[in-house]
Structure 1
Amino acid sequence: MLLTTKFLRPATDPRAVQRDRLSSLLAPGHPKRLNLVLAPAGFGKTTLVSQWCARTSGPIAWLSLDEHDNDPQRFWQYVASAFEHAGLTGLEPCQKSLSGSTDDSINSAITALVNALAADGGPWVLVLDDFQFAANDRIHRQFGYFVDYLPAGVTVTLISRSEPPLPLARWRVRRWVQEIHPALLAFSEDECREFFHSTMGMVIPDQDVQAICQRTEGWVAALQLSALSGSDRGLEQIKSGVAQDAPTAALSIDERHISDYVLSEVLDKQPDEIVAFLLDTACCPRLCASMCDSIRETDNSQELLESLLSQHLFLIPLDNHNEWFRYHDLFRDALLQRIGHADPTRAHQLWQRTVEWLLDHGQVQGAIAQIVQNKDWPWLARVLATHGNNLIHGGYHLPVLNWLDELPADEVKESPQLQMLRVWGHFFANRLDNLEHLLANVEDLLDRRVADSAPDAEGALGVQSEITLIRSYLARSRSDDKNASDLTRQVLAEIDHTQIPLKSVTYYGLGLDDYGKGDLPGAEEALKSAVHYGQVERKPSTVLSSGGLLAWIQYNRGDMDLALETCTNVRKWVDQHYADPSQPRLISCWLSASLTEIFRERNQLRDAAAHLEPLLEHVNKGAEPGQHIIIQHVRGHLAFSDGRYQEAIEYLADAEQVGRKRREHIVFEPPASSALFARCHLAAGQVARARSILESVQSHTLTNPLNREQNSISYARLLVDEGKPEQALEILDSLMAAAMHNEHTRHVVEALLVSAEALDQQNRSEECQERLARALSVAAEAGFLRLFAEESPRLQALLLESPALKNGGNWQRNLTEMLLSPNSEPSSATATGTQPMASKTNASRPARELAEPLSQRELEVLELINAGYANKDIAVRMGVAPATVKAHIRNLYGKLDVGRRTEALAKARELGILTG
C-alpha cells in the first residue's frame, strides 16, 4: 500500500517571500526537460518549487521521497501513482508491469509510463522532492532512460541536497537542464528584509538586516532560526509590558540553534568518512587538497572535496579550477563547535598544523588571523618579527599596527624588531609626527642591550641600519637632501653585513635623491636596482613604487615605449606573486600616474582616465600628501589636455595647497604643479593670475631641476603671451643645454616649441622653422604627441605650415590629424604603433624592397632597438657617442618612412629585415 500523503504538494504560505527571479527559471520551455534544484538543507528548495507549482496552470504530479524509496520497484510505483493521483489516465499497462520485480519488468513499466504521457499530450510537470534518497544505481540508470524518452512538453523537477549521478553533461549540451544552485537560492538583502518584515512580522533596523544577511550568506534556515529566537524574545517583552508593538528586539544570529540544526540535519546524516573529513578541516579558513592532506596526514583530500562539492554540502568554490574552497561560515562554526567539544586536543593540533601550513606556503596574513583569533600572543610575536617587515612593504602596514596593539605591551617594549615594525607601520601610514620619539625608544633599547652584553649583535646592527634608513627619509621630508643622501649611502655600505632585507628600500631612496637632483640616468640605475631587490626580497609595494618612478623618469626622458614596458612588467610581477582576491589590489601612485601620463601624451585620453580612476579612490580615502599632489597633478594635466581648464585649475590649486601645508610630511619634491597651474590660467586668458602664480613660486627654492625647468618654460610662455619674445628666448636658451645634457627630453621639446613662437614674433621665420623641425624630430623619436595640442593656437598654426610636419611618416600624420581635430582620439593600434599605416611612398613597392638599403651600422642599431636597449645603452654597446646613435636612428627612420621606434620595428618585420 502506498502513502497518498506523499503525493500532496506542500501548501504555500501567502506571507512567504515571493521569488519571482527564480520561479521564471523553472518555467517549461523548449528544449528543456529537467529542472535541477540543488542545495543543502534549509535553503528553501521545496518552498521555491511549491510556490512555482501554485502559479503553474498545467497538471502537476508531486512526490516526496524518503529513505524507504531507494528500491527501484517501490520508486517507480510511487512515480506512476503520483501521475495517476494527479489525473493521468492510461496507466494500467504501467501498473501491471510494476507487479514484477525484474529489471525488464520495470523497464517495460517506464516505457508504458512514457507512452501514457505521449498519448495524453498535456504539459505535465513531475516534481520529485528529496531526490537524494533515490541513491540506487539501478534507479539512476532507469531514470536517465525515462528523461531521454520524455515526450515534448513534459518537465521533470528534481529537488535534491546533492547532485545525482545522471547523464547531466550530455543533457546540458542538449540544453535540457536548468540548474538552480545554492548561490541562486540564497536570499538577497532585499529578500532578507522582506522575510523579516512580511513573513516573520518583525520590525528590525536595516543595518541589522544587512549584517544578518552577510553573516548567514542568505541561508534561509539560519534566517528563520534567528527570527524565531528574536520573535520569542519580542513576545516575552510584549507579555511583560516592555514592548507594545511588533517585536523589535535587537536581532542576532542564534548560533546555538543553527549549530543544532546543522549537526542534526546535515552532519549526522553523512557517512563516517565525510564526517571525519569535515571535522578535521573545519579549522581551515580556506581549503585546498594539499592543505587538507597535510593537516590530516592523508592523500585523498581532493577526492573528498569533489565529493562534498557534488553534494552541495556548504562547500563554496573560490576559483574556477576546483582548487580552493571555503565552508559556509555558520556551517564551519557548527563543525568547530562539535570537534571542540568531542576532541579538544585533536582540534588544537589540527589548528596548529593549519597555521604552520599557511606560514610555509606564504599565506602569512591568513596564519596571523588564525593566531589572533586564538590569542596565541607569543606565536604572534614570533611571526611578526619574522614576516612583519615584508607585510608592511606589501601594503599591510595598518593591519601590522593593529596586530602589534594586540600583543602585551611588555612583549613589544622589549623587542627591537617589534618596535621597528611599529616605526615602519607609522612611516607607511604617513604618521611622521611621532617617529622621532619611537626611534629614540628603539635606540634606548639597543643601548641597554649592548650594556647588558646581549648576544644578538648582528640583529642589533640590522635594526640600527633600519633606523638610519628611516632617518634618511625623514631628512627628505625636511628638504635636507645632503643628509638624506649621506644616510642612505651609509645604509647601503652596511646592508650586506646585516640580516635585514632592505636593499630595495635603500636603492629606492637613492633613486629619489638622484631624481631630486635632476640626475635622471643615476636615478634610473638606482631604481632598476630597487625593482630587482624588491623582487628578490618579496616587497611588492617597493617594486611598484620604484618601477612607477622609473617609468615616470623614462617618460620624461622621452622613452615612452620603454616606460610602458616597465609599467607592464612590474604590474605583471606583482599580480603573479601577490594577487589575493580577498584583498584590494595593490596600486602604486607613481605607476598609475605614469600610465595616465603616457596614454594622455599618446592622445588616448579614455585610456588615461581609466588608469587615473583607481588613484581618485585613493585620494577620496585620504592619500599621503606627496601622493595626493602627484595624483592631483596628473588629474589636472588630463583635464588641461581635454580643455577642461576650470576643473584643472581646481585640482592643481588643491595640489598647491597640500604642498604648502604638508611639506614636512612629503619625503620627495613632487612635480611642479605651479607650472601647469599657470598654463591653465594662461589658456583661460587669465594672464595676470598666471604671472602671480609663477612669481610667487620663484620666491621659493626648488631643488629639483625638472621642476625649475617646468616653471621656467611656463614663465617663457607667459612672456611670449605678453609680447616679450626677447626675455622668453633668454630664459629658454639658458636652460636648453642643461636639459639636453640631463636627457630631459620633454622639456627640450617644449623649450624648442616656445622658442619657435618667440622667434616668429620677431619675424625670424627661418630660425622659427628650424626649431620647429628640431622639436618635431625629437618628439617623433620619443613618441610625444599631445603636448603639441596644448600649445597656443598660433604655435599650432605654425606647426601645420611646417615642411617638417608635411614630409614625415605615420607619427607626423597622426600629429596633423590631432592638430586639425584635437578632440578626436586615434585607435589604440595606430597610437601605439602596433599596426602602422602603409606609407604612401612605399605603397606600390614590394614588401621586401627599400628605396635605399640600410647600412650595416643602421642594421646593428635596429637589432639593438629590437632587443629593448635605450639610446644611451646602444651608444655604449657600439662604442660611439649618443649623438651618433641618434643620427643613425634618424637615417633609419627616413629610409623606413616611419617616425618612432615601434613603427620602425613593425615596418622592419613587414619588410623581412627583422624576423623576431
Structure 2
Amino acid sequence: MLLNTKFLRPSPDRRAVSRERLNALLERSGNKRLNLVVAPAGFGKSTLASQWCAQNTSPTAWLSLDTHDDQPRQFWQYLIGAFEHAGLMGLEEAKKQLSQASGDDLTAVITCLINTLATEDKPWSLILDDYHAISNSDIHRQLAWFIDYLPPGMLVTLASRTEPPLPLARWRVRRQVQDIYPSLLAFSEEECLSFFRDTMAMDLTEPEIRAICRRTEGWVAAMQLSALSGKARQEPQGQSTLTTPIAVEGKLISDYVLTEVLEQLSDELTDFLLDTACCPRLCASLCNTILERTDSDERLESLLAQNLFIIPLDNRNEWFRYHDLFREALLQRARIIDGEKADALQRRTVNWLLSHGHVQEAIAQIVSNEDTERLARVLAEHGNNLIHGGFHLPVLEWLRYLPDEEVQENPQLMMLKVWGLYFANRVDGLEPVLSQVEDLLDRQVADSHPDAEGALAIQAELSLIRSYLARSRNDEQNASNLTRQALKDIDNNQIPLKSVTYYGLGLDYFGKGELNDAQEALEAAVHFGQVERKPSTVLSSGGLLSWIQYHRGDTELALETTTRIRRWVDEHYSDPSQPRLISCWQNSALTEIYRERNELELAASYLAPLLEHVENGTEPGQHVVIQYVRGHLAFSEGNVETAIEALEDALFVGNKRREHIVFEPPAVSALLARCYLAMGDQAKAMRCIEPAIRQPANNPLNREQNQIALARTLISGGQYREAQDTLSTLIPIAERNAHNRHLVEILLVYAEALQHEGRSEEAMAMLERALHKAEDAGFMRLFAEESETLKRLLFDLPRLKTPGRWNRELLAMLENQQTDTHKHTQMTPPAARQTQIKTSTASSPLVEPLSLREQEVLQLINQGLANKDIAVTMAVAPATVKAHIRNLYSKLGVGRRTEALAKARELGLLDDSL
C-alpha cells in the first residue's frame, strides 16, 4: 500500500510572495526536459514548485521523496503511483511489469511508463521534491534513462538540496536543463518587502526589511524565523507595529540549522563544519592548518556538492565562505559543545590569516574576541601598510577598541591615528596630535626607553606628514624641505615609507611644472610602493605619472603605465572579499586618454567608478579632479549644460576647500570658460577666466590652460591680435617643457585667430604643425571640439587626405560630426533654427503653476548660480535643489537650463530687472 500523502503537493498560500521571474523560468521552452532547482534547506524550493504547479495548465504528478524511497523498486512504485494519483490512465502494464521484475533491472517498467506518457494528448509534468534523499546509483541511472527518452513536451522538475549525479553536462549542452540555484532562488529586496508586509502581515519600515534581507541574503527560512520572532514581540493588543526593531533571531536559526541540516549529515562532515565555522573565509590550506589534516580540499568539494550553505568566492573553487547566518549558527553550536576548542581554533585561524597577508580578516577576528592586547600588537605591526593601502577608516575604527591611555602612550599607534585622520581628510585637528606625538618621543629618548631607536625613526613620519600639511597650505618651499628631510631620515630606519615620500616629491615637482623630475620621483614611488606592498600608493603614483605622460603627448606610454600598474595591483591584491582598489588619478587619466582618442564610451566606463566617490564624499582634491574630468567628457559628448554643472561644482569645492587640497587641481576655470563660449556667452566666459589670469596658477600646465582659454575668449570678442600676442608667448614655453597637448591646442587657436584676420596661408601652416604634433601623440578629439571655421580649414588641408590610419580616423570623425550636425539642422524647423532655445508656442500657459520654491530656484538659475550655490542661498540640501529643478523642468517641458530660462521668459515668469 502506498502512502497517498506523498502525492499531495503543498497547497500554495494565497498570501505567499508571487515569484513570477522564477515561474517563467520553469515553463516549457524549446527542447527542455528538466528543471533543476538546487538550494540549501529553507530556500523555498518546494514553495516555488507548488506555486508553479498551481498556475500550470498541463496535468502534473507530484512526489515528495524521503530516505525510504532510496530503493529502485520502491522509487518507481511511488513514481508510477504519483502519475496514477494525478489521473494518468493506462498504467496497468507498467504496474504488472513492476510486480514481475526480479532484482533491480526495471527497464521494462520504465519503458511501459514512457510509452503510456507518449499516448497522452497533453504533455505531462512531474515534480520530484527532496530528491537529495536519493543516493542509490541505480535510481540515478534509471532516472537519467527515463528523462533521455521522455516524449516531446514532457517536463521533469527536481527540487534538491544537492546537485544530483545525473548527466547534466550533456543535457546542458543540448539546452535541455533550466538551472535555478541559490543566487536565483534567494529573495530580492522587493520580494522581501512583499514577504513581510503581505505574507507575514507585519508593519515594518522599509529600512528594517532591507536590513533583514541583506543579513539573511535572501534565505527565506531565516526571514520567516525572524518574522515569527518579531510577531512574538508585538503588542498584546494586536498592534502591528513592533515595540523594538526586528532582528534576525539567532537561537531559532541555530535550532533550524541543527535539526534540518546537521542531523542529516555524517559525523565527520558535521565536525568539519563546526570546526571551520571560526573561519571568515575558507580554503584548503587554512582548513588543513587549523585542523591539522591534509584532506580539506575533499571536504570542501563535498560541502559544495551537497550545497551546504557554502558560497564560492572565485571561479577556481579555491576560496569559499559560509552563509553568514549559517556560520553564526555553527559557531554558536561549536561553543556550546566545546568552548575551549572553539577558542583554540579561532586563534589558529588568526595566526594563519596574519601569516598569509589577510590582515583585515585577522583583525576582525581579534576584535570579535575582544583581545585588545593582541589588537594593539597587530595594529602596530600592520597598521601603516593598511592605511597606505586605502584602509584608513577601518584602522581608525579599530583604534577606538583600544583603551585611550594605551594609544596615547604608544608612538606607533598615535602615528596610525595621525595618518588615519589625514587620509580621512580630518586635518583640522591634526596639529595637537602631532605635538603630542613629538612630546612622547622626546620623553622616550630622554628616558632611554627600550624603543628609543624606534621612536627616532618615527620622526621621519612626522616630517612627512608635516610636508603634506604644508603642501595643503601652499607652503611649497617648506613642504619640499620636509619631504627631503623625511627621505633622508627614512634611509636610516626600518619604516617602509619611501613610496609615500617619493609620491610627495612627485607632487612637488608636478606643482612646479618640472615634469621630468616629477616623472622620475613618481617612478621611484611606484617601485618602492611595490617593494613595500602599498597598492594604494602604487596606484596613485602611477596614475599621476600617466596623467603627466598624457599631457606630454606620450599617450601610448601612459596607457602602458596604467596597464602595468593595474596588472601588479590585481595580481597581488585581488581579494574577492574586498572592493577593487581604484585610484582617482589613474581612472581620471584613462578617462582623459580615451576621451581624447574619441572612444567616449570607454572613457565613461573609467569615469563611472569615480562618480560613486563624488556622491559618497571624497577628499576635496580628488573631488575637483573627478568633476573636471566629468565636465570634460560631457563637453566632448556635446552635453554642455552637464559639463557646466560639474565644472561649477569643481570650482566651488576647489575654492571653498583649498586649504585641504595637497596639490593644484586642473584648470577648471579654463574649461568652464570654454563651455560658456560654447553657449555663446562671451561676457560670462571672460568673468570666469579673469580671476585665474590675475592670480596665476603655480602649476605651469594650469597657467598655460588659462592663457589658452583667455585667447579663445578674446577671439570670441573679435580681439584677434590680442589673442595672438597671448598665444605667441606660450608656444616656446610649451615646446621647451614638452607640454605637447597644450602645444597642439595653442597652434589650433592661433590658426583660428589668423584665419579671422584673413591670413589663411599662415593659418594653414599653423594647422599643419598642429596635425604633425597631434599625430605623434595620438590626439584626436581636440580637433572635433574646435570651431566650424577651423574644421572647414582642416577639410581643405591636403595632408589630411594622405594615407595613414590616424589621418583616416581623424577625417572620419570630422565627417561623421558634420553629418550629425547637418541632420540635426534638417530636422529642426526653420523658426526654431533662428533661435535654438525658443519654443514654438511663446505664450502657452503652464499645465501646473510653479510653486514659490520653484519660482525662487528659477530666479537663482537666472542669476547664474550653480546648484551648490543655490542650496547655500536657500539653506537647503543640494539634493533638494535637484528635486526642485526636476519639477521645474517637468512643468516647463524642457530638459536644460538654457531652455528653462528661454521658456520662462516667453511665459513672463522672469523679471530680469531684479
Quickly name the TM-score band, shorter chain normalised. Answer: 0.7 to 0.9
How far 1:536 moved relative to its partner? 1.6
Structure 1 residue 290 and structure 2 residue 285: aligned? yes
Q: Distance in 1 between matches of 2:363 and 2:480?
A: 36
State the Cα distance separating 1:569 from its structure 2 match.
2.0
Secondary structure, aligned partner of 2:49: helix
Q: Which is worse superposed, 642-651 or 592-601?
A: 642-651
Aligned-pair distance for 1:343? 0.7
In structure 1, distance between residues paired with 2:104 and 2:674: 91
Distance 1:327 1:510, change over 3 A: same
Q: Give the equivalent residue in structure 2 for 1:630.
A: 625
- Corresponding residue for 1:884? none
Structure 1 segment 20-39 matched on structure 2, within 5 A: 20-28=20-28, 31-39=31-39
The Cα of 1:768 is off from its aligned counterpart by 4.2
1:70 aligns with 2:65: no
| Matched residue SS, 1:679 | helix
Aligned residue for 2:159, secondary structure, equals strand
User: Bigger CA drift: 184-193 or 555-564?
Assistant: 184-193
- Range 563-572 or range 800-809, more displaced: 800-809
Contact in 2 for aligned 1:98/1:105 (Cα 8 Å):
no
> What residue number does 2:872 align with?
none
| Residue aligning to 1:419 | 414
Could you give the per-residue CA deviations for residues 554-607 of structure 1, whole angstroms, max 9, x where no partner exists? 111111121122222222222332233443332222222222222222233333
After the TM superposition, which of the residue ranges 34-43 and 374-383 deviates more from structure 2?
Answer: 34-43
Residue correspondence of structure 1 range 612-691 to structure 2 within 5 A: 612-691=607-686
**Rounded Cα–Cα distance in structure 2 between residues aligned with 1:303 and 1:342:** 25
Q: Which residue of 1 aligns with 2:146?
A: 146
Aligned partner (choices 470, 494, 505) of residue 489 of structure 2: 494
Listed as ranges, the matches of 1:693-772 within 5 Å are 693-760=688-755, 767-772=762-767
CA distance in 2, matches of 1:665, 1:198: 51
Q: In 2, distance between residues paired with 1:750 and 1:110?
A: 80
CA distance in 2 between partners of 1:34 and 1:503 (Å): 61
Match of 2:203 in 1: 203
Stretch moving more, 177-186 or 373-382: 177-186
Is the alpha carbon distance of 1:154 and 1:771 closer, same or farther for their aligned partners in structure 2, counting shifts above 3 Å? closer
- Distance in 2 (CA, whole Å) between partners of 1:164 and 1:361 is 36
Deviation track 1:300-325 (CA, whole Å, cap 9, x = no partner) reads: 11211121122122122222322222
Task: Find out whether 1:577 has 2:567 as its counterpart.
Answer: no
Amino acid at match of 1:63: L
Going from structure 1 to structure 2, the CA distance change for 1:55 and 1:776 (only over 3 Å counts) comes to closer
- TM score, norm. by length of structure 2: 0.84
In structure 2, give the amino acid aligned to 1:304: R
Q: Any gaps of 5 or more consecutive residues in structure 2?
A: 821-914
Which residue matches 1:382?
Answer: 377
Does the 8 A contact of 1:671 with 1:707 survive in 2? yes
Aligned residues: 820
Alignment of structure 1 residues 282-321 onto 2, 5 Å: 282-321=277-316
Mapped contact 1:528–1:546 kept (Cα < 8 A): yes
Could you give the per-residue CA deviations for residues 437-487 of structure 1, whole angstroms, max 9, x where no partner exists?
111111111111101101224422321101101111111112121111111
Residue aligning to 2:230 = 230
Per-residue CA deviation, residues 740-759 of structure 1 (Å, 9 max, x unaligned), is 22212223333333444445
Which residue among 431, 437, 453 is the counterpart of 1:442?
Answer: 437
Aligned to 1:478: 473
Change (3 A) 1:461 1:153: same
Distance 1:756 1:152 in 2: 74
Deviation of 1:723 (Å): 4.6
Summarize deviations over 1:151-200 as a string: whole Å, max 9, x none: 44443333333233233333333433333333333333333333333333
Post-superposition CA distance 1:473-510 (Å, at most 9, x none): 11111212111111111222222221111111111111
Deviation at 1:640? 3.6
In the aligned structure 1, how far is the partner of 2:401 from the partner of 2:271? 34
Residue 526 of structure 2 aligns with which residue? 531
Question: In the TM superposition, what whole-angstrom CA distance separates every residue of 1:773-822 from its partner, at most 9, and x where no partner exists?
Answer: 33332222222223234444444444444455455744344444444554
Distance 1:274 1:822, change over 3 A: same
8 Å CA contact 1:39–1:162 kept in 2: the answer is yes
Q: Which residue of 2 aligns with 1:840?
A: none
Offset of residue 645 of structure 1: 4.2
Residue type of the partner of 2:15? Answer: R
Q: Residue 604 of structure 2 aligns to a residue in which SS?
A: helix
d(CA) in 2 for partners of 1:539, 1:717: 43
Shift in CA distance, 262/561, structure 1 to aligned 2, threshold 3 Å: same
1:824 and 1:607 mapped to 2: Cα distance?
A: 23
Which residue is equivalent to 1:555?
A: 550
Residue matched to 2:839: none
The one of 337, 346, 349 aligned to 2:332: 337
Which of 463, 479, 482 is matched with 2:458 structurally? 463
Structure 2: which amino acid aligns with 1:33?
A: R
Question: 1:452 — aligned with what?
Answer: 447
Q: State the match for 2:8 in structure 1.
A: 8
1:405 aligns with 2:400: yes
Q: Is the 8 A contact 2:204 2:241 kept in 1?
A: no
In structure 1, C-alpha distance between the alignment counterparts of 2:679 and 2:25, rounded to whole Å:
58
CA distance in 2, matches of 1:79, 1:788: 74
> In the TM superposition, what is the alpha-carbon distance from 1:348 to its structure 2 partner?
0.8
Query: CA separation in 2, counterparts of 1:317 and 1:504?
Result: 35
Residues 521-563 of structure 1: CA distance to partner in whole angstroms, max 9, x if unpaired? 1111111111111122121221121111111111111111211
In structure 1, distance between residues paired with 2:393 and 2:144: 57
Letter in 2 for 1:619: V
Aligned to 1:322: 317
CA contact (8 A) 1:193 1:209 kept: yes
Question: Aligned pair in 2 of structure 1 residues 64, 494: CA closer, same or farther (>3 Å)?
Answer: same
C-alpha distance in structure 2 between counterparts of 1:8 and 1:393, whole Å: 62
Deviation by residue 1:353-392 (Cα, 9 ceiling, x = unmatched): 2122222222222222222122111222122112211111
Q: Any idea what SS the aligned residue of 2:158 has?
A: strand
Q: TM-score, normalised by structure 1?
A: 0.84
Identical positions, percent: 62
Match of 1:159 in 2: 159
Q: Does 1:782 align with 2:772?
A: no
**For the structure 1 residues 781 and 164, does the alpha-carbon distance in structure 2 shift closer, same or farther, using more than 3 Å as the test?**
closer
Q: How does 1:225-304 map to 2 (within 5 A)?
A: 225-234=225-234, 237-238=235-236, 241=237, 243-244=238-239, 250-304=245-299
**Shift in alpha-carbon separation, 1:704–1:297, aligned structure 2, 3 A:** same
Aligned CA distance change for structure 1 residues 292 and 813 (closer, same or farther; 3 Å): same
Code of the aligned partner of 2:606: H
Alignment of 1:765-844 (within 5 A): 767-805=762-800, 809-822=804-817
Deviates more, 1:437-446 or 1:807-816: 807-816
Query: 2: CA distance between counterparts of 1:731 and 1:213?
Result: 62
Equivalent-residue separation in structure 1 for 2:629 and 2:476 (angstroms): 25
Secondary structure of the 1:128 match is strand
Distance 1:820 1:89 in 2: 73
Q: Deviations over 1:114-165 (max 9, x none)?
A: 3444455653333333333332233333333333333444433333332332
Instruction: Name the stretch that deviates more: 314-323 or 815-824.
Output: 815-824
Letter in 1 for 2:674: R
Query: Structure 1: 5+ residue runs without aligned partners?
Result: 826-916
- Distance in 1, matches of 2:797 and 2:587, equals 35
Q: Is the 8 Å Cα contact of residues 458 and 499 (structure 1) preserved in structure 2?
A: no
The 5 Å alignment of 1:171-182 reads 171-182=171-182
Report the Cα distance in structure 1 between the residues aligned to 2:13 and 2:783, rounded to whole angstroms.
71
Distance 1:29 1:444, change over 3 A: same
CA distance in 2, matches of 1:822, 1:152: 55
User: 2:17 is matched with which residue?
Assistant: 17
Once the two structures are superposed, what CA deviation does each residue of 1:680-734 show, in whole Å capped at 9, x if it has no partner?
Answer: 3344443343344443223324322222222233333444444545544444333
Cα 1:411/1:731, change in 2 over 3 Å: same
Contact conserved, 2:441 with 2:456, CA < 8 A, in 1?
no
Question: Given the superposition, is the C-alpha separation of residues 761 and 577 from structure 1 closer, same or farther in structure 2, using an over 3 Å criterion?
Answer: same
Q: What's the secondary structure of 1:14's corresponding residue?
A: coil
